[in-house]
Amino acid sequence: MGRMMFNCQEATRLVSESLDRKLPFHQRVGIRVHLLMCKFCSRYEKQLMFLRKTLRTQKMVEEDTASYVSLPPEARTRMTNFLHDHLDKPG
């Protein structure tokens, strides 16, 4: 069994690794203990999680946009005309 107390360098490395793979129990516990005591590493973890979420969201947007971009020009024109016809009418 490995150590359960990590310095900041080890903790940030393991936080990063934990995004790619499941860490052994003793490392997960050691990171949690370190993050409870260290506001800088805790902030680093929050920033990584934010970046991960943002990149996943961006990927989903790009996938949605790619399907829209692949529409034939005629279909886009029909949809645009339909929307203009129905949105421009009052009431």
Q: Give per-residue pLDDT as tens, 68-84.
A: 667 788 888 898 888 88
Please state whether 71 falls in left (phi above 0), alpha (psi between -120 and 50) or beta. Answer: beta
Q: Give per-residue pLDDT as tens, 43-73.
A: 999 999 999 999 888 877 777 666 666 778 8
Q: Is the model more confident about 89 or about 14?
A: 14
Cα-only R_g, the chain: 24
CA distances from 79 to 39, 71, 75, 84 (A): 52, 11, 6, 9
Predicted local distance difference test score (pLDDT) of residue 1: 53
Beta strands in the chain (DSSP E): none
Q: Give per-residue pLDDT as tens, 25-44.
A: 999 999 999 999 999 999 99
Predicted local distance difference test score (pLDDT) of residue 55: 87
